[in-house]
Amino acid sequence: MPMRATLLHQRLLGLFALALLLLNFPLLALWDRDALVLGLPLFPLALFGLWALLIALLAWLMERPD
């Protein structure tokens, strides 16, 4: 397997581990507050923000030139 493919696999596994940590109960419970940000509840806003960040990181990893 070429070196770049191995590095990409390692980065994808790292991103997967980051997603598991960020979207798991103990860390996700930090956002469960009765607070509003720009009129929106904090928890769904943080949840979709983290989700969008993970998708953006995945797209950036997959679309990088060789």
Which DSSP string do the residues of the chain spell out, in sequence order? --HHHHHHHHHHHHHHHHHHHHTSHHHHGGG-SS-EETTEEHHHHHHHHHHHHHHHHHHHHHTS--
Q: Which residues contact 12 (CB under 8 A, 6 or more apart)?
A: 58, 61
Mind listing the pLDDT tens digit for each residue in 11-45? 999 999 999 999 999 888 998 989 999 999 999 99
Q: Left if phi > 0, otherwise alpha if psi is -120 to 50, otherwise beta: which for 40?
A: beta
pTM metric for this prediction = 0.85
Rounded distance, CA 66 to CA 63, Å?
9
